[in-house]
């Protein structure tokens, strides 16, 4: 549930520092961000600017060095590892640049993975998987293994895995970064449809202005800070 202003994600004064030997690298520096429910945010910036780090922190895959992160009214930076895992399973869908499908599982089994953590029966899981694969247009490829699918198809399976639990937030890290233009467009069409037709709130990290143009809002990240415009 979003708060009274419809804010789903609230990032307040978040910093992230990595240590490399004696050196401290400040990736995020007191960063603030709000995201409304139903928004499609494109997060842009040069390599090493901290886009993926911010995405990981919002998705509960990493913790901030300082600051607060609330998603759907819940302070996730305060959750223990176990509770955070359960929270991710319930609220977060993830789409990766390199799909990250398990090569030993068929498309339907890959999509089913997040559902294994629910109390759904085998039959119910099968229905959810079929729906998710239908949404991404891959019902006919459910028995195929990742090696038997094209890059675009693998990414669509990845999106089906990301949406199968009907998560609060869909986080996409360079979802078209490994695809040709045609396949990339198909994936972007799909993400757009999920946002418009299914009301999914999406944060997409991308280098590609063409991809970012599909989003309802764009933000630029550089030197640990966010801005509305590219930083010169």
Partner 1 sequence: MKFARLVWANLKRKKVRTLLTLASIFVAFVLYGYLAAIRTALSAGVDVAGADRLVVRHKVSIIQLLPASYEADIEKVEGVADATYSTWFGGIYQEPRNFFPQMVVNPEEYLAMYPEFVLPKEQKDEWLRTRTGAVVGRTTANRFGWKAGDKIPIQATFWSHGGGNKIWEFDLVGIYDGAKDGVDTTQFLFRFDYFDEARDNVRGWVGWYIVKVEDPAHADAVARAIDETFANSPAETKAETEGAFVRAFAEQIGNIGAIMQAILSAVFFTILLVAGNTMAQSVRERTGELAVLKAVGFTDGQVLSLVLAEALGIAALGGFAGLALSYFLISLGDPTGGNLPLFFFPTRDVIVGAAIVVFLGFATGFFPALQAGRLRIADALRRLA
Contact residues for partner 1 (CB under 8 A)? Answer: 52-53, 56, 59, 61-62, 81-82, 85-86, 88-90, 92, 94, 96-98, 100, 102-105, 109, 113-114, 116-117, 122, 161
Q: Rounded to the nearest 10 degrees, how much is the dihedral formed by the CA atoms of 219, 220, 221, 223?
A: -140
Cβ proximity to partner 1, 56 vs 183, nearer residue: 56
Residue 129: CB minimum distance to partner 1, A: 13
Q: Are 38 and 199 in contact (CB under 8 A)?
A: yes
Helices and strands counted in the chain (H then E): 7, 10
- Going by their DSSP bridges, the two strands 66-71 and 7-20 should be labelled as antiparallel
Q: Minimum distance from CB of 47 to partner 1 (Å)?
A: 10
Q: Could you tell me the smallest distance in angstroms from the CB atom of residue 29 to partner 1? A: 18
H/E run at residue 131? helix 122-135
Written as six digits, the tokens of 212 are: 């970012």
Kindly state the smallest distance separating residue 164's Cβ from partner 1, in Å. 10
Residues linked to residue 219 through DSSP beta bridges, in sequence order: 43
Q: Which residue has tokens 């991809």? A: 211
Between 117 and 213, CB nearer to partner 1? 117
Residue nearer to partner 1 on the CB measure, 104 or 232: 104
Nearer to partner 1, 117 or 231 (CB): 117
């Amino acid at each position: 549930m979003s708060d009274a202003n419809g804010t789903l994600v609230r990032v307040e004064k978040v910093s992230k520092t990595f240590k490399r030997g004696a050196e401290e690298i400040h990736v995020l520096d007191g960063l603030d961000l709000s995201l409304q429910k139903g928004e499609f945010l494109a997060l842009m910036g040069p390599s090493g600017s901290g886009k993926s780090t911010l995405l990981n922190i919002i998705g509960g895959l990493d913790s901030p060095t300082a600051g607060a992160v609330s998603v759907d009214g819940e302070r996730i930076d305060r959750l223990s590892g176990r509770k955070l895992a359960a929270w991710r399973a319930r609220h977060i869908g993830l789409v990766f640049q390199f799909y990250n499908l398990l090569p030993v599982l068929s498309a339907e089994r890959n999509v089913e993975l997040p559902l294994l953590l629910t109390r759904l029966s085998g039959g119910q899981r099968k229905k959810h998987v079929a729906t998710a694969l239908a949404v991404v247009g891959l019902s006919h490829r459910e028995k195929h293994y990742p090696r038997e699918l094209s890059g675009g198809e693998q990414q669509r399976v990845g999106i089906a895995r990301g949406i199968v639990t009907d998560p609060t937030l869909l986080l996409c890290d360079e979802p078209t970064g490994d695809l040709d233009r045609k396949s990339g467009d198909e994936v972007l069409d799909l993400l757009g449809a999920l946002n418009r037709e299914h009301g999914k709130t999406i944060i997409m990290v991308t280098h590609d202005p063409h991809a970012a143009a599909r989003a309802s809002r764009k933000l630029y990240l550089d030197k640990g800070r966010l801005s509305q415009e590219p930083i010169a």
